């Protein structure tokens, strides 16, 4: 090979590598600077459906978590499996996570609690412990996660130093909510203009299970958690701007129970049958929304997974006959921005 040709080849390679480095660097920078921190301080109430599925695996939805962001506060209501990964992909400012509110302790609502604590601790260099609110029993859940992640926390502080991973912020702390009167909502959070009330729902034998109502600058958001029909839900959701409601298509799940029995899977059949008795159906949810006069009804904890248009049509069957307002089937990443208003 001629000397000049060789030199040209080397120069081309060096140039390509430099150009490649530049492209990758640009990509990394883009990733690192896309956090949606503006939501914290823009004066609006933001709701992001971080995860909208139930316990059944599917490629459309992970389990349940809802982010409520306003006045510098970032609350995650539930932390179902896959939701922290979703929150990071959705560029939510995990380092600013203020608190987690749990509705009850089924695994499809709590499995990412350790990850929520870990990511928010290290990303935010948090010195304060993450507060985890929930009904009685939350202490056990929080202690369990703190223990499970104890060794990891020690490694991280040892590896990255106390400025990045302050040891005092590593362990989450439980804040138990006692709803004294079963019919009344309890104000349990009031910071920087963001207020939250907890109210009892009925998800027996998961007891007590609670839902949450948020208010900020005259806007109202209600998140039911998992529940069947109760006598008080419509009152708690009264005139909400957003009513984010559990909804399971019982008719399709009963069909799944029948099929499971036919293919000799009796346990699965029993589970399918059992779960229909402690969730709302879309039509029941629509009835509550109508009675409460909410502006927008958003279905979440979507069961079964709506993997094709037939299932989706079945899920929505009869809903519009009952509720005249806006309806959305929640999707992972769906975002609502509520500008200040008057209740
Ligand atoms: Zn549940
Ligand atoms: Zn659930």
Going from the Cα of 203 to the center of ligand 2, the distance in angstroms, rounded, reads: 9
Going from the Cα of 328 to the center of ligand 2, the distance in angstroms, rounded, reads: 19
Going from the Cα of 171 to the center of ligand 1, the distance in angstroms, rounded, reads: 25
Ligand closest to Cα of 64 equals 2
- The pocket of ion ligand 2, defined by CB under 5 A, consists of 106, 108, 226
Going from the Cα of 58 to the center of ligand 1, the distance in angstroms, rounded, reads: 18
Going from the Cα of 24 to the center of ligand 1, the distance in angstroms, rounded, reads: 43
Q: According to the model, what pLDDT value does residue 1 have?
A: 60
DSSP character for 204? T
Going from the Cα of 108 to the center of ligand 2, the distance in angstroms, rounded, reads: 5
Going from the Cα of 128 to the center of ligand 1, the distance in angstroms, rounded, reads: 29
Going from the Cα of 209 to the center of ligand 1, the distance in angstroms, rounded, reads: 8
Collapse the DSSP code of 64 into the 3-class scheme (helix H, G, I; strand E, B; otherwise coil) and give the result. Answer: strand
Q: According to the model, what pLDDT value does residue 141 have?
A: 98
Going from the Cα of 200 to the center of ligand 2, the distance in angstroms, rounded, reads: 15
Going from the Cα of 103 to the center of ligand 2, the distance in angstroms, rounded, reads: 9
Ligand closest to Cα of 109 equals 2
Q: What is the 3-state secondary structure (H, E, C) of the chain?
A: CCHHHHHHHHHHHHHHHHHHHHHHHHHHHHHHCCCCCHHHHCCCEEEEEEEEECCCCCCCCCCEEEEEEECCEEEEECCCCCHHHHHHHCCCCHHHCCEEECCCCCHHHHCCHHHHHHHHHHHHCCCCCCEEEECCCHHHHHHHHHHHCHHHHHHHHHHHCCCCCCHHHCCCEEEECCCCCCCCCEEEEEECCEEEEEEEEEECCEEEEEEEEEEECCEEEEECCCCCCCCCHHHHCCCCCEEEEEEECHHHHHHHHHHHHHCCCHHHHHHHHHHCCCCCCHHHHHHHHHHHCCCEEEEEEEECCCCCHHHHHHHHCCHHHHCCCEEEECCCCCEEEECCCCC
Q: According to the model, what pLDDT value does residue 88 have?
A: 96
Residue spans of the domains in the chain: they are 38-337
Going from the Cα of 254 to the center of ligand 1, the distance in angstroms, rounded, reads: 18
Q: According to the model, what pLDDT value does residue 17 have?
A: 72
Q: According to the model, what pLDDT value does residue 9 have?
A: 81
Rounded Cα distance between 235 and 288, Å, is: 9
Ligand closest to Cα of 202 equals 1
Going from the Cα of 227 to the center of ligand 2, the distance in angstroms, rounded, reads: 9
Residue 191 CB partners (closer than 8 Å, separation 6+): 71, 73, 98
Rounded Cα distance between 220 and 85, Å, is: 27
What distance lies between CA 108 and its chain's CA centroid?
Answer: 10
Ligand closest to Cα of 63 equals 2
Ligand closest to Cα of 248 equals 2
Going from the Cα of 111 to the center of ligand 2, the distance in angstroms, rounded, reads: 11
Going from the Cα of 303 to the center of ligand 2, the distance in angstroms, rounded, reads: 9
* pTM for the whole structure: 0.93
Q: According to the model, what pLDDT value does residue 343 have?
A: 59
Going from the Cα of 225 to the center of ligand 1, the distance in angstroms, rounded, reads: 8
| CATH code for the part of the protein at 38-337 | 3.60.15.10
Going from the Cα of 277 to the center of ligand 2, the distance in angstroms, rounded, reads: 13
Going from the Cα of 103 to the center of ligand 1, the distance in angstroms, rounded, reads: 9
Rounded Cα distance between 70 and 336, Å, is: 12
Helices first, then strands: H and E counts in the chain: 13, 14
pLDDT values of the chain reduced to their tens digit, one per residue, 343 residues: 677 788 888 777 777 777 888 888 888 888 778 889 999 999 999 999 999 999 888 999 999 999 999 999 999 999 999 999 999 999 999 999 999 999 999 999 999 999 999 999 999 999 999 999 999 999 999 999 999 999 999 999 999 999 999 999 999 999 999 988 888 999 999 999 999 999 999 999 999 999 999 999 999 999 999 999 999 999 999 999 999 999 999 999 999 999 999 999 999 999 999 999 999 999 999 999 999 999 999 999 999 999 899 999 999 999 999 999 999 999 999 999 999 986 5
Ligand closest to Cα of 301 equals 2
């Amino acid at each position: 090979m001629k000397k000049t040709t060789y030199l040209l080849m080397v120069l081309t390679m060096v140039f390509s590598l430099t150009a490649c480095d530049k492209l990758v660097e640009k990509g990394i920078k883009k990733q690192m600077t896309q956090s949606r921190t503006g939501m914290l301080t823009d004066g609006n109430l933001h709701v992001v459906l971080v995860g909208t599925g139930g316990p059944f695996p599917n490629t459309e939805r992970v389990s349940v978590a809802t982010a409520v962001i306003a006045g510098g506060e970032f609350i995650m209501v539930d932390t179902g499996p896959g939701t922290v990964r979703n929150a990071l992909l959705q560029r939510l400012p995990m380092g600013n996570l203020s608190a987690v509110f749990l509705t009850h302790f089924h695994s499809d609502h709590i499995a990412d609690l350790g990850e929520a604590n870990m990511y928010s601790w290290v990303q935010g260099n948090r010195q304060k412990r993450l507060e985890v609110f929930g009904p009685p029993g939350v202490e056990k859940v929080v202690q369990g996660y703190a223990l499970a992640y104890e060794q990891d926390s020690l490694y991280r502080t040892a590896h990255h130093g106390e400025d990045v991973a302050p040891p005092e912020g590593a362990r989450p702390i439980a804040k138990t909510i006692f709803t004294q009167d079963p019919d009344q909502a309890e104000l349990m959070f009031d910071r920087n203009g963001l207020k939250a009330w907890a109210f009892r729902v009925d998800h027996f034998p998961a007891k007590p299970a609670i839902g949450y109502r948020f208010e900020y600058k005259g806007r109202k958001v209600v998140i039911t958690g998992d529940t069947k029909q109760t006598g008080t839900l419509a009152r708690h959701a009264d005139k909400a701007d957003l009513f984010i409601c559990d909804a399971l298509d019982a008719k399709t799940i009963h069909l799944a129970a029948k099929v499971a029995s036919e293919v000799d899977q009796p346990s699965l059949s029993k589970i399918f049958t059992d779960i229909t008795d402690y969730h709302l159906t879309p039509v029941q949810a629509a009835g509550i929304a109508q009675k409460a006069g909410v502006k927008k009804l958003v279905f979440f904890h979507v069961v079964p997974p709506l993997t094709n248009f037939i299932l989706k049509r079945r899920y929505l069957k009869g809903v519009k006959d009952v509720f005249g307002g806006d309806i959305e089937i929640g999707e992972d990443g769906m975002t609502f921005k509520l500008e200040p208003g008057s209740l």
